[in-house]
Homo-oligomer: A and B are copies of this chain.
C-alpha cells in the first residue's frame, strides 16, 4: 500500500424529497447564487421550479446560466465567471449531472482568478488561489463529480478536453435524490452505469500490491452497479436500484477507492478524445474503450485481471488457465455493457479507423498517459484499433 492523504469535505444529503432543502444549504454559503444547468431538461421536469422556489424561500437571490452541454465548454465558464463578478455572486449551484457540475467548478475557479480562465491551471501556467463554493443537485448517477475534486472541461479553441484536479473544487454539498432520475432516458442511465464502473476500474487496475481492503471496496461498488443497473432500466420508477446507483456513483469517484493505490486513467483520456471527436456520451465511450485497453495491457499483470474476472463477474476458475479466465472476464464486461444497450465497438457508433491517428495524437498533449502501463501514441493507436 502507498502512503496517502484522504480528505473529502463534501456534505452528502441523500434521499427522497431532499432537493427541497437546497435553499437553506446554499444560504449557508451566500445570499446570491448562480444557478447553473444544462440544456433545459430541468425546466421540463419541473425541478427548476422546485429549486428556485427553495432558494427564494431561503431568501437567496438567484442569477442563472443554462447551456452546460455534454463535454462542457470553457467559453461558457468564462461567461459564468463574468456574471458572478458583475453581480457579486458568492456561490454556484449546479443542477444536473457531470457536465453542469464540472462547468460550475470551472466557473468557481474562473471567478476567483484574474487571468483569462482556469485553462491556465490545466496548462500549469498558473495556480488557483481560491474558488467560489459549489453546491450540487444531482440528476444522474454517472460522473461522480458531485463529491470529487476534478472538473473535465473542453477548450473550444482546439477542442481539447482535459480533467483538472484541485481540492478547492470539492463541492461544499451535494443533494442526491434518486427520485429525480425516474424520468432519465434509458441510454443516459446505461451510459452513467458504464461511467461508474469505469471510475472504479481506473482505480482497481493498479501496479501497487497489497491493497486488499480497497480491492474489495472497489469490487463491492462494481458488483452493486452490475446488479442494479439492469433493475433500474427495467422499472424506471423503482426507487431502490436507482438509489444504489446514485450512492455508488458518488463513492466510485470520491477518492476513497484509490486510497493507497495508484490508478491508471489512460482509458479516460482516450474516451475524452473519442467523445470530443464523435459526440458519443462519456460512458458509452468508456464502454467501447475499456475492453480494448484491457486486452492490450492484461499481460503486464494477469493476477489483477484474473481477480476482476472471478470476484466481479463471477467467472468460474476451476480447470481454466489464467489467460482464459482473464479473457472471459473481459468478455463478460462487454456482454454486460451490451445488455444495457451500450456500444462496445467503434463500429457500433458508425466509426472505423478514420480518426484514430488524430485522436491518438491529442492524448499525448502533455506526454504519455496511463500508470498501469505507460501509453505512447503508438500504444494508443493500437488500443483504438482493438476497439474497432
Could you list which residues of chain A lie within 8 angstroms of chain B, going by C-beta atoms? 1-18, 210, 212-214, 216-217, 219-221, 223-224, 227-228, 239-240, 243-244, 247-248, 251, 256, 259-260
Q: List 13 interface pairs A-B (beta carbons < 8 Å), by A numbering.
A: A1-B243, A3-B14, A3-B17, A6-B12, A7-B11, A15-B260, A210-B244, A212-B224, A216-B219, A216-B220, A216-B223, A217-B220, A243-B260
Whole-angstrom CA separation of A259 from B11 in the bound complex: 12
B220 in contact with A224 (CB, 8 Å): no
Further 10 A-B residue pairs, CB within 8 A, beyond A1-B243, A1-B244, A216-B220: A2-B15, A3-B16, A7-B9, A8-B8, A9-B9, A213-B220, A213-B251, A220-B220, A243-B260, A256-B256
| A11 CB contacts on chain B under 8 angstroms | 5-7
Interface centre among A212, A219, A221 (most CB of B within 10 A): A212
| A213 CB contacts on chain B under 8 angstroms | 220-221, 224, 244, 247-248, 251
Q: How far is the CB of A8 from chain B (nearest CB, A)?
A: 7
| A217 CB contacts on chain B under 8 angstroms | 217, 220-221, 251
Q: How far is the CB of A67 from chain B (nearest CB, A)?
A: 31
Q: How far is the CB of A32 from chain B (nearest CB, A)?
A: 24
| A16 CB contacts on chain B under 8 angstroms | 3
| A216 CB contacts on chain B under 8 angstroms | 219-221, 223-224
Contact for A227 among B15, B212, B221, CB less than 8 A: B212
Whole-angstrom CA separation of A243 from B223 in the bound complex: 25
| A210 CB contacts on chain B under 8 angstroms | 240, 243-244
B240 in contact with A259 (CB, 8 Å): no
| A260 CB contacts on chain B under 8 angstroms | 14-15, 243, 247
CB nearest neighbor in B for A8? B8
B227 in contact with A247 (CB, 8 Å): no
Whole-angstrom CA separation of A18 from B260 in the bound complex: 14
Q: How far is the CB of A74 from chain B (nearest CB, A)?
A: 31
